[in-house]
Structure 1
Amino acid sequence: MTLEKPETEDERAVESYPFGPYERLDLHPKYAEYRAKCPVARVQMPYGGEAWLATRHEDTKTVLADPRFSRAATIGKDVPRVRQAFEDPIIVAMDPPEHTRLRKLVAKAFTTRRVELLRPRTQEIVDGLIDGMIASGSPADLAERLAWPLPITVICELLGVPAADQATFRSLVDTWLSVGEARPLEEVTGALVKLQGYMSDLLEQRRQEPQDDMLSALVEARDGSDQLGPDETVMLGITLLAAGHKTTANQFGSHVFALLSRRQHWLELVEDPTLVPRAVEELLRYSPLSPASDNTRIALEDIELSGQLIRKGDAVLVNYAAGNRDEAVFPHPDELDFRREKNPHVSFGHGLHHCLGAPLARMELQLALGTLVRRLPTLELAVPAEEVPWRKDSVARGVQSLPVRW
């Protein structure tokens, strides 16, 4: 339908959100309609009532960075949201000064040096996974052979999680971060309890016998007399583990799908592999990570966004992908352009919640894509693009499998 901006708030139609099931990497056309006619729109969420949805790039950055929009106000509360579970007390759901304190301590463990030291080992992992895929023969499921095992192996080695426990962790994280009513609420909360118990045991082992890994670094992280508490360390370990593999795995699968379903872009990288770093940034901009807006924020005072008054106590949501497709910032936003001059995407967030693991994710994505382009230049989808199955039960959008051949 065509949206006309109402004259008053009372006249504004309240749409149900999400707008509908997502299709591969496409964004629902309502995002573009709202961006043009009603950039801050009232929507009815599956749980917790109504919220404001901001769809423009500039408003997205404002909501992410302005301290008047609180994440901490959502912890454990029945706020408007897409998940049945309430917000958990993790670092991405905190405000300053607690967020500042924790981030400073985590940054002492998650250093650029530690990430760069992983580069040779990450290349080894990539080569080994591709060796195994080639040895097993064409066709293959790229999601299970490369997209998932790469980031979970890297983050587990970085943290110090035993390789034998990777599958268990992946399963528990998938359950914890499910959406809608795909799983019973008690199963979702039970998965988090199991993750907390396991992580607590690992951290206690590091307290007794420190090793050269990030869990040991988190246990030892200090800033003067300040130190992470036991519960804080447990939730930080879980957050790093979950974010460190789930987002990167889903993004990589989406990136390869985008390239192979528009194969001229894959061939563009085969012909000029030096474009890979810029291609990764463009693919991060283009590929929606979340199926819907999440990470609710609560306005701490009256504030205006694109001419719309947000009242104190109102819930506000952003969709990173909608901001990344803003025509005012990204010319021809629905097309891949590896030579885009400016690419200020918000795929890693913005402001104080900008992703700490962005350097690690970029390194993994660049190495995996660059190696795949170099070693398997004839790679193509083994089924029509519309037959590639996508996961529908997760906070992260991604392929369920990615059949390829070469």
Structure 2
Amino acid sequence: MGTMGSTDALADVHVGDPYPVYEWLRETAPVYRCRGDTYLLTRYPDCRRVLTERELFLAPGGHPPSGRTAGHASPPVLSRVMSSQNPPRHTRMRTAVARRFAEHLRGQQPWLSRLCDQLFEPVVETLSHGVADMTPLAEAFPRDTIMHVLGLPRTDRELVSALVADIFPTSGPLPGSERDGGAAMRRLTDYLHREVARRRCAPGDDLTSELVRAHTARPEALPHDELVSILTGLTVAGFPQIAAGIETGIVLMNRHPERSAFLDDPVSARMFVDELLRYDAPVQFTPAPRIPARTVVIGGVTIPAGARVWPVLGAANRDPAVYFRPDEFLPGRRGPRHLSFGGGAHYCLGAELVHLEIAMLLGRLRQRLPDLVQAQPPAQRYGRLRGFTSVPVMRTER
């Protein structure tokens, strides 16, 4: 660890357990410069400041305030989604979707419960004969959920999964690294354009239809390109991160069976989910950097206007100056809200859906398979998402 200052911290985080690296950075270089004008922030107050002071720390979409940002905008593949926008575009997009998204979710719990039961059946059958890998279940539940919410045909599940994997790979690349996901993004955008056109001819009771009706009624409040960008962002962000959280939750249930009792009650189940999101955040970095509108000093380090600032959410969530015994998984802990959902105007639109999906699936797992144990060590995923590429389990009684 002593040579960290002469290497690229991003590479060290990518190849192994990131938390010792985060600890070193918080203590030694909490504002760490790497890759030119790119700065990693690892302390909770600094990360929260960047996430919440949106007039000073801009999202990378649109037109940057300084020539220094040339080449520093978010990759084109992400540049038009809502999380990369600033006011007034971000405000307009968020206003168009936030209330409708929340209202649409209120009546979805019975459907989600039925989906959860359907997806469990083949898992239960496999476990009656031996070992089952839980990652396909973890991936299918949030994928099928967001497609149902948006009204996308179930027959397109494999297509959507493949496109999202190309746009948002679950194991890398590192934040800020170059990668061409443009072809997949164009295919996804074209697909969503066709779905929007279908809703104009045959609207349904899904969120896409709601947004199409809003565009038709007031196109100046929700232009067509922004409507498609909203759907794109919801699709790309709608299931890989939640799947990673479910995978982590299953592993934590096996490692801490005594704490799984939190899942028996809706209030305490939320505490369990919040703690797993703090303890091992599925998204370790913000999806895009923030760009200082003017020169700013953070942690004694002068950061020029137009630089890229990356809040490291996984590090902030374990800041010992903020959380008691931060490296322990302790549902029900006191302390400030974790930063896994971001903060400020860009606070995760789907936070409530994340809580609902993870708590429901883990709770159903505890009810239906209380004797589940780890069959083999899970295979950790490294890179852009935490989580596991394989979670093999078995029953102690069959």
The TM-score bracket by the shorter chain reads: 0.7 to 0.9
CA drift at 1:89? 1.2
What SS does the corresponding residue of 1:226 show, helix, strand or coil? coil
1:71 aligns with one of 30, 54, 59? 59
Extract unaligned runs of 5+ from structure 1: 5-12
Q: 2:279–2:317: 8 Å Cα contact kept in structure 1?
A: yes
Which of 388, 391, 395 is matched with 1:399 structurally?
388
Size of the aligned set, in residue pairs, is: 380
Q: Which residue of 1 aligns with 2:8?
A: 16
**Cα drift, residue 218 of structure 1:** 1.3
User: Which structure 2 residues correspond to residues 114-153 of structure 1 after superposition, within 5 A?
Assistant: 114-137=104-127, 138-144=130-136, 146-153=137-144
Letter in 1 for 2:299: S
Q: Under a length normalisation based on structure 1, what TM-score does the superposition of the two structures give?
A: 0.86
Separation in 2 of the partners of 1:266 and 1:216? 43
Structure 1 residues 58 and 156: alpha-carbon distance in aligned structure 2, compared to 1, 3 A threshold: same
Quick check: 1:321 aligned with 2:314? Answer: yes
Kindly provide the CA deviation profile for residues 56-96 of structure 1, in whole angstroms up to 9, marking residues without a partner as x: 11111111111211113588963288xx7664211000111
Decide whether the 8 Å contact of 1:74 with 1:296 is kept in 2: no
Q: Would you say the 8 A contact 2:295–2:303 is kept in 1? A: yes
1:316 is paired with a residue whose SS is strand
Residue of structure 1 aligned with 2:86, choices 77, 83, 95: 95
Q: Which among 174, 187, 199 is matched to residue 192 of structure 2?
A: 199
The 10-residue stretch of structure 1 (243-252 or 216-225) with the greater mean CA deviation from structure 2: 216-225
Which residue pairs with 2:229 in the alignment? Answer: 235
Q: Deviations over 1:110-169 (max 9, x none)?
A: 12x32121111111111221222112333111111x201111111111110000001110
1:74 to 1:23, Cα distance in 2 relative to 1, 3 A: farther
Change (3 A) 1:287 1:371: same
Of the structure 1 ranges 320-329 and 306-315, higher mean CA displacement relative to structure 2 is found in 306-315
Q: 1:55 aligns with which of 37, 42, 50?
A: 42
Q: Distance in 2 between matches of 1:281 and 1:3?
A: 34
Aligned in 2, Cα 1:196/1:217: closer, same or farther, shift over 3 Å? Answer: same
Greater shift, 272-281 or 160-169, is seen at 272-281
Paired position in structure 2 for 1:308? 301
- Shifted more, 351-360 versus 124-133: the winner is 124-133
Which secondary structure state, in structure 2, belongs to the residue aligned with residue 33 of structure 1?
A: helix
Match for residue 368 of structure 1? 361
- What per-residue deviation string (whole Å, max 9, x for no partner) do you get for residues 295-348 of structure 1? 111111122212222221221111111110011111111110013123510111
CA distance in 1 between counterparts of 2:368 and 2:189 reads 40
Q: Spell out the pairing of 1:1-40 with structure 2 (5 A cutoff).
A: 1-2=1-2, 13=5, 15-20=7-12, 22=14, 26-40=17-31
Contact 2:61 2:79 (8 Å CA) reproduced: no
Q: 1:159 to 1:299 in 2, by over 3 A?
A: same
Aligned partner letter, 1:68: L
* Identity of matched residues, %: 29
Q: Distance in 2 between matches of 1:318 and 1:77?
A: 21
Paired residue for 1:377?
Answer: 370
Q: Which secondary structure does the structure 2 equivalent of 1:338 belong to? A: coil
Could you tell me the TM-score, scaled by structure 2's length?
A: 0.88
Q: What one-letter code is carried by the residue in structure 2 that aligns with 1:42?
A: R
Residue aligned with 2:326, SS: coil
Tell me, in whole angstroms, the C-alpha distance in 1 between the residues paired with 2:198 and 2:241. 28
Do the aligned partners of residues 21 and 321 (structure 1) sit closer, same or farther apart at CA in structure 2, a change above 3 Å counting?
A: closer
What one-letter code is carried by the residue in structure 2 that aligns with 1:96?
Answer: P
Amino acid at match of 2:387: G
In structure 2, the gaps of 5 or more residues are 64-68
What amino acid is aligned across from residue 50 of structure 1 in structure 2? D
Deviation readout 1:268-298 (Å, 9 max, x if unpaired)? 3248723422111100111132355651111
Aligned partner of 1:10 in structure 2 is: none
After superposition, residues 176-195 of structure 1 pair within 5 angstroms as 176-178=167-169, 179-180=172-173, 185-186=179-180, 188-195=181-188
Distance change (3 Å), C-alpha of 1:86 and 1:189? closer
In the alignment, the residues of structure 2 paired with residue 71 and residue 358 of structure 1 have an alpha-carbon distance, to the nearest angstrom, of 20
What amino acid does structure 2 have at the position aligned with 1:398? G
